[in-house]
Every structure is written in structure tokens, then in C-alpha cells.
Amino acid sequence: MGKKVTSTQTSRDPNEKALEQKLIKSLGTKVRLKHKGNKGGVLEIEYYSLEELDRIVERLL
């Protein structure tokens, strides 16, 4: 018998998705926003070279 697969991912807030998309467009790279309710969250920004990291840092500062 096969195992039942359940999804642990809940639907994300549309505002969170929209903000993530704005960051992706603004920074030009993959961004993940993980909100943890009232406890804060994590913002992940990927880069693929040191030059790209420099460009992203310049945009953020």
C-alpha cells in the first residue's frame, strides 16, 4: 500500500506574496520571505556571484 502524502504548507498571505514579488523584481534575484506570525520571520536573498552580491548590497544600502 502507498503512503498518504499530506501537505504541510499552508496558504500564504496575499500581501506576503506581493511583497516577495516586489523584492524579486527590485533586486533581480530569487527572494524568499518566511513570516512566522508575531515572532518575526526570515528574508532570504540568493546571489550567484560576488559581483551580484555587491550589486544587491548597493541596492539595499
Please report, in tens digits, the pLDDT of each residue of the chain (61 residues total): 666 555 455 678 899 999 999 999 999 999 999 988 888 999 999 999 999 999 999 999 9
Question: Does the model's pTM come out above 0.75?
Answer: no
Q: Is residue 8 part of a domain?
A: no
| Among 61, 51, 8, 60, CA closest to 31 | 60
Contact by Cβ (8 Å): 44, 31: yes
Number of domains in the chain: 1
Residue count of the chain, please give it.
61
- Whether residue 49 is contained in a domain is answered as yes
Segments forming the whole domain that contains residue 37: 14-60
Residue 1: inside a domain: no
Residue 53 is assigned to a structural domain of this protein: yes
Rounded CA separation 44/32 (Å)? 5
With respect to residue 30, please indicate whether it lies within any of the assigned structural domains: yes
